[in-house]
Chains A and B, each alone.
Chain A
Amino acid sequence: MADSVRDRVIAIIAEQAVLDVSDVTEDSSLESLGIDSLGLVESIFAIEEAFDISVPFNANEPAKSDFDISTVASIIAAVEALVAAQKS
């Protein structure tokens, strides 16, 4: 568990996009990485499993969700917040 949340989220997204970790930058959107809607729900599942958190995300209304998926950075921030909330 030495890896930071950032590194682990990027590793999950890179695996989903079949890319090298170095190709996944924080300002990338999932779409620009070639991750489609199925890839998105699979990534969220992998994040939930990896951090043992529950991600509030409904694929029907992604914009209304508290979990901001617009960029890799926003996903990292959202996961960090959920991990922190879970610890408190």
Chain B
Amino acid sequence: MRRVVITGAGTVNALAHDVKGTFEAFREGRCGIGPLDIRDRDRLSIQIGGQVHGWDPETHFNRQQLVLFDKFTQFTLIAARQAIAQSGLNFDGHLGYEAGVVLGTAAGGVNTWDENYRSVYEEGKNRVHPFVVPKLMNNAAASHLSMEFNLKGPSFTVATACASSNHAMGLAFQMVRSGASRAMLTGGSESMLCFGGIKAWEGLRVMSKDACRPFSLNRNGMVQGEGAAIFVFEDYAHAKKRGAEILAEVIGFAMTSDAADIVMPSKQGAARAIAGALRDAQVNPEKVCYINAHGTGTAANDKTECAAVADVFGQHADRLMISSTKSMHGHLIGGTGAVELLACIMALKDGVIAPTIGYEEPDPECALNVVPNVAREAKVKVALSNAFAFGGLNAVLVLKRA
């Protein structure tokens, strides 16, 4: 069993196009959610989102790349370039054979589906661009990442709805820990903020029209976001030997399935995932100072999640801090766990707990310290990141200060 550390991080999300800017926004409790700027917005009943603004792909990619890169792939590649630059790793030599990429996305190239459906159904065209399939496929981002950085080991994409990134990062962790890989690029990406992507979510009637207010009594639903976060997970001995800066250590992971309902969360399933991750990490629950919650801002998730935390931690649940940064960057669906892992890294490394913003009224069913509205300073040794997906698939990661 090898130790696994994070030696690079990168992101593009509604708060910033890099980690530094995202940390600043977390510290300030800034909201990245606002009016959507997309085609046919007036036909949507949900008109807000955590959209990535000022995105100019031509500055990063040439024309031939752009015909193959859906937005979820673009976000992934930019985040990965940042992460790899920070890690200082180069995969051109032998390391390329010992490194791979596992990414999470719930839906892959949704914008590509959307644009081409428009073209054939709405505009009545009878042919589409030849690269529609390689552009929209869920593994496109992972494959382009492998090609850009010469990653020749295990590489694939997992889709477990809102837990995709956590499942991906958990598998990457297991591969490095077992010795199957020396280093793994991992994280996730999502880009569903287009007419069809939002219309589909509207149908479920779980979306808020005004704000994402996790744990607040007056919460009225989730708000979609978009973007990516990518990390370099590396064998501790390898990182140590080359003198790399270690952002945090990954020490545990567990996944469970509710086997119960396609949309309603289960307290038991979530609690088993949390407890399992702590067992895997071999830490006592009392060591956990911070939990980055799944905290979607829906009635069902937030109370179920708080009940699961109370079950696992007992009295310690009242002492730890739990916040949901979805209030700031929105719910990135398959990419959400990756962006949220940044809040765990900030807590461990900088001693700053990102707040749950938009918090207005205490809910007796969410009676934990949810770090309302304002960031807190605290020494954090161990942090957890929760993800509980539609379909009852749960994935929890445990991180430790480097």
- In the complex the two chains form, is A45's CB within 8 Å of B127's CB? yes
| Nearest CB of A to B7, in Å | 34
Q: How many residues of B contact A (CB 8 A)?
A: 6
Q: Which of A38, A44, A49, A54 has the most CB of B within 10 A?
A: A38
Residues of B contacting A: mostly: loop
A80 in contact (CB, < 8 A): no
Q: Per-residue CB proximity of A24-40 to B under 8 Å, as 1/0?
A: 00000000000000100
Query: How far is A41 from B130 in the complex, measured between Cα atoms in Å?
Result: 6
Query: Is B67 part of the binding interface, using a Cβ–Cβ cutoff of 8 Å?
Result: yes
> How far, in whole Å, are A70 and B373 apart by their CA atoms in the complex?
66
Does B55 lie at the interface of the complex (its beta carbon under 8 Å from any beta carbon of A)? no
**A23 within 8 A of partner (CB):** no
Nearest chain B residue, comparing its CB with the CB of A15: B63
What chain A residues lie within 8 Å of B129 (beta carbons)? Answer: 42, 45
Q: How far is the CB of A41 from chain B (nearest CB, A)?
A: 4
- Asked if B131 lies at the interface with its beta carbon under 8 angstroms from chain A, I say yes
Q: Which residues of B contact A45 (CB under 8 A)?
A: 127, 129-130
Judge if A20 is at the interface, Cβ distance under 8 Å: no
Chain A residues in 8 Å Cβ range of B64: 18
The answer to whether A38 touches B127 (Cβ under 8 A) is: no
Please encode chain B, from 52 to 86, with 1 for each CB lying within 8 Å of some chain A CB and 0 for all others.
Answer: 00000000000010010000000000000000000
Find the B residue at minimum CB distance from A49. Answer: B127
How far is B131's CA from A44's CA once the two chains are assembled, in angstroms?
A: 12
Contacts of A42 in B (CB 8 A): 67, 129-131
Least CB separation from B68: chain A residue: A38
Q: Which residues of B contact A48 (CB under 8 A)?
A: 127
Q: Smallest Cβ distance from A44 to chain B, in angstroms?
A: 7
Interchain nearest-CB distance for A13 vs B (Å): 14
Total interface residues on A, CB under 8 Å, equals: 9
**CB nearest to A44 among chain B residues:** B130
Query: Which residues from chain B contact A49 at a C-beta distance below 8 Å?
Result: 127
A11 to chain B minimum Cβ distance, whole angstroms, is 15
Taken together as a complex, chains A and B put the C-alpha atoms of A45 and B131 apart, in Å, by 10
Closest to A16 in B: B64
Shortest distance between the CB of B292 and any CB in chain A (Å): 41
CB distance from A83 to the nearest CB of B (A): 17
* B-side contacts of A38, CB under 8 Å: 130-131
Among B67, B127, B130: residue with most chain A CB under 10 A: B130
- Complex alpha-carbon distance, A38 and B134, angstroms: 10
CA–CA, A42 and B67, complex, Å = 10
Q: Which residues of chain A are within 8 angstroms of B130 by Cβ–Cβ distance?
A: 38, 41-42, 44-45
Chain B residue at minimal CB-CB distance from A54 = B127
B67 to chain A: closest residue by CB = A42
B127 / chain A contacts, CB cutoff of 8 Å: 45, 48-49, 54
CA–CA, A74 and B87, complex, Å: 51
B69 to chain A, nearest CB (A): 13
Alpha-carbon distance between A38 and B129 when the two chains are bound, in angstroms: 11
Q: Which residues of B contact A44 (CB under 8 A)?
A: 130
B 125-153 binary contact with A (CB < 8 Å = 1; else 0): 00101110000000000000000000000
For window 45-65 of A, CB contacts with B under 8 Å fall at 45, 48-49, 54
Question: Whose C-beta in chain B lies nearest to the C-beta of A40?
Answer: B130
A49 to B126, CA, bound (A): 10
Residues of B within 8 A of A54 (CB): 127
Distance A80 CA – B131 CA, assembled complex (angstroms):
26
State how many angstroms separate the Cβ of A34 from the closest Cβ of chain B. Answer: 11
- Which residues of A are found within 8 Å of B67, using beta-carbon distances? 42
Closest residue on chain A to residue B130 by CB atoms: A41
- Inter-chain CA distance A38–B64, complex, in Å, is 11
CB distance from A62 to the nearest CB of B (A): 14
Q: Please name all residues of chain B whose beta carbon is closer than 8 Å to the beta carbon of A18 when the two chains form the complex.
A: 64
CA distance A48 to B130 in the complex (A): 11
Residues of chain A whose beta carbon lies under 8 Å from any beta carbon of chain B: 18, 38, 41-42, 44-45, 48-49, 54
| Chain B residues proximal to chain A, CB less than 8 Å | 64, 67, 127, 129-131
Closest 9 A/B residue pairs (Cβ): A41-B130, A45-B130, A42-B130, A45-B129, A48-B127, A42-B131, A45-B127, A42-B67, A38-B131
Pairs across A and B, CB under 8 Å, 15 listed? A18-B64, A38-B130, A38-B131, A41-B130, A42-B67, A42-B129, A42-B130, A42-B131, A44-B130, A45-B127, A45-B129, A45-B130, A48-B127, A49-B127, A54-B127
* Further contacts, 13 of them, CB under 8 A, given A45-B127, A54-B127: A18-B64, A38-B130, A38-B131, A41-B130, A42-B67, A42-B129, A42-B130, A42-B131, A44-B130, A45-B129, A45-B130, A48-B127, A49-B127
